[in-house]
Amino acid sequence: MNDPIIITNPARCRDCYRCVRHCDVKAIRVHDGQAQVVPELCIVCGTCIRSCPQKAKDVHSATQDVKKAISEGRKVIASVAPSAPAYFGFDHFSEMEAALRQLGFFAAEETAIGAEIVGLAHRDYMEQRPDLRPVITSSCPVIVNLIEKYHPDLIPHLAPIVSPMIAHGRLLAAKYGPDAYIVFIGPCIAKKLEIFDASEAGEVSAAITFHGLSNWLLEAGIVFEKAESRGESSLTVDARLFPIEGGLLGTAGLSTDMLASSLVVASSLEACRNILCDIRAGQLNASLVELMACPGGCINGPAMADLPGGIYSARKKILEYQRNRPAYAPVARADWPDLMRSYQDKKEPIPEFSEEQIKEVLQRVNKYTPDDELNCGACGYSSCREKAVATLRGMAEVTMCIPYMRRRSESLRQVVMDVSPNSIVIVDDHLAIQDLSPTAEQLFNCPLADVKGKHISRLIPLYDDFITVRDTGIPVIGKIRRLNDNLVTEQSIVRVEGQSLLVAIMHDITENETEKQKFLELRAKTLEQTREVVKKQMRVAHEIAHLLGETTAETKMILSHLAKLLEEEQAK
């Protein structure tokens, strides 16, 4: 299979490292703040999908492949896992079969048929190989992945028997023909990888989850209809208990007494890994060990995560379903398909790094001595050294160290807040004061301790600009506001992206404004004085012009009279 089973939506991945913290095998690579699953290291347990708070992890869907097979007229056969009654709530398998037929399936049967013969095959193998103690059950694909990739030395203890899905797939192929398109429907996402395993490839064509089938039924508008009659079953009773703890032992006819020392049952990856370590150390004296990766068994598989009621509610439904169904003869041994399989050592080599290389990475996050190594686990790794090795392997980033980044952030904050000549005020969306720079404390003559958590109106009576920025997200830049009679500032207010905070940067321009006001007053006074001078000058000019006008007129009269006298004198 070329496509990864577990995919990440980069838009939703928020740099929280929660999937790294919860991944038992640390198969998550963080690059540029994005957490990606490394297929070579992943055991497909689905823990990262369950734990992601942003739903950034999802599973590759095979629903479209199944729809295509149906549209092409293929004989599509469903193998439905025995945990289905807990998820879908049906009382009789014919209800599930009817719903699947409406979707276009040719037929549907319970995977418990395969579980029954697999359980018996485990008992046979345990009895035939007394030299291998203990025998580890192989029905859980996550456990098989765990052993092949991380504990390959324990492969000899792993029963070489196929899972119920593969066993049932081989039965269905023999019943419906080699061209049948077999679809497994269950709670486990590791089945999507198992069908491509080299020793089992081709037995099952596709695997879809209960969640995927539920969405398909919802899309098609199909609901379960209660069956009128119970009909008959070809199953023994115990096979339907396979998905709960001890289910394989019960199916095999072995004791399910949890206190029995020869038979051990464990669920959850942590418990299973502890048992594997005990087997390696030779400290576990048991004949058969049933290991299930999901706590509580398959009824708590990744595709059961959205089921209301929890593990014990699901367990109760399975028990009730098993109790109300009749038991019939098992599949004849002559009709059993080949149940054998093989395993591979898939362990990825871990490169070795020198002490100098590890110290160099530690020093990049200010860890110079063992006392500096907090081993807090916030990055997802149990120790600072483990995280340093992961960084050298390219699985982690230096910035994943939360304490270091916090100290660095606080250091940068102090540089900005303490050194900035401007006054900085930080408030939350309720306009409650969160922080003041030392300059702001001086500006308002008020220490932070006296106003922290108080409304901004304690410092700034006119705070409408803060409301505007909070409600619209549009910043206010370089706006001059008079905060009181003695204080004028040029202020810029912006919202901090991703946080419910507003930052106001204020520059005290009171002195400049005072000088400016004095200049304006002086200019107005000078202008008024200039107007008075001009007015006086105009009046003087007018008076002079008036006097000059009278003198000119008299002179003109005298000269005219003199000219007339001269003319008369000349005429004589």
DSSP state string for 385-451: HHHHHHHHTTSS-GGG-HHHHHHHHHHHHHHHHHH-SSEEEEEETT-BEEEE-HHHHHHHT--HHHH
> What are the strands of the beta sheet with 423-428, ordered from one edge?
433-436, 423-428, 501-508, 487-496, 476-484
Q: Which residues of the chain have pLDDT under 50?
A: 231-234, 237
**85-107: per-residue pLDDT in tens?**
999 999 889 999 999 999 999 99
- Work out the angle between the directed axes of helices 269-280 and 141-150 (0-180°, nearest 10): 50
Residue 369 one-letter amino acid: T
Q: Measuring CA to CA, which residue among 224, 204, 236 is closest to residue 78?
A: 204
Say how far apart CA 367 and CA 363 lie, in whole Å.
Answer: 5
- Strands 206-209 and 263-267 come out as unpaired
Q: Could you give the 3-state DSSP secondary structure of residue 51?
A: helix
Copy the structure tokens of residue 88.
């879908």
pTM equals 0.73
User: Please, are residues 292 and 143 in contact by the beta-carbon 8 Å criterion?
Assistant: yes
Residue 128, class by beta-carbon neighbours within 10 Å (0-12 exposed, 13-18 middle, 19+ buried)? exposed
154: region left, alpha or beta (phi > 0 left; psi from -120 to 50 alpha): alpha
CATH number listed for the domain at residues 421-508? 3.30.450.20
**175-194: per-residue pLDDT in tens?**
999 899 999 999 999 999 99
**460-503: per-residue pLDDT in tens?**
888 899 999 999 989 999 888 888 777 888 889 999 876 788 99
Q: For residue 23, what pLDDT is reported?
A: 95
Q: For residue 552, what pLDDT is reported?
A: 65
Q: For residue 237, what pLDDT is reported?
A: 47
CA–chain centroid gap for 550, Å, is: 102
Copy the structure tokens of residue 238.
């115990």
Copy the structure tokens of residue 432.
């409650």
- Residues whose CB is less than 8 angstroms from the CB of residue 222 and which lie 6 or more positions away in sequence, other chains included: 99, 102, 103
> Which residue is associated with the tokens 């020869």?
262
Q: For residue 61, what pLDDT is reported?
A: 92
User: Please, are residues 492 and 477 in contact by the beta-carbon 8 Å criterion?
Assistant: yes
Say how far apart CA 51 and CA 327 lie, in whole Å.
Answer: 39
For the chain, the C-alpha Rg in angstroms (whole number) is 43
For the chain, which residues make up each domain, given as ranges?
Answer: 61-335, 350-405, 421-508
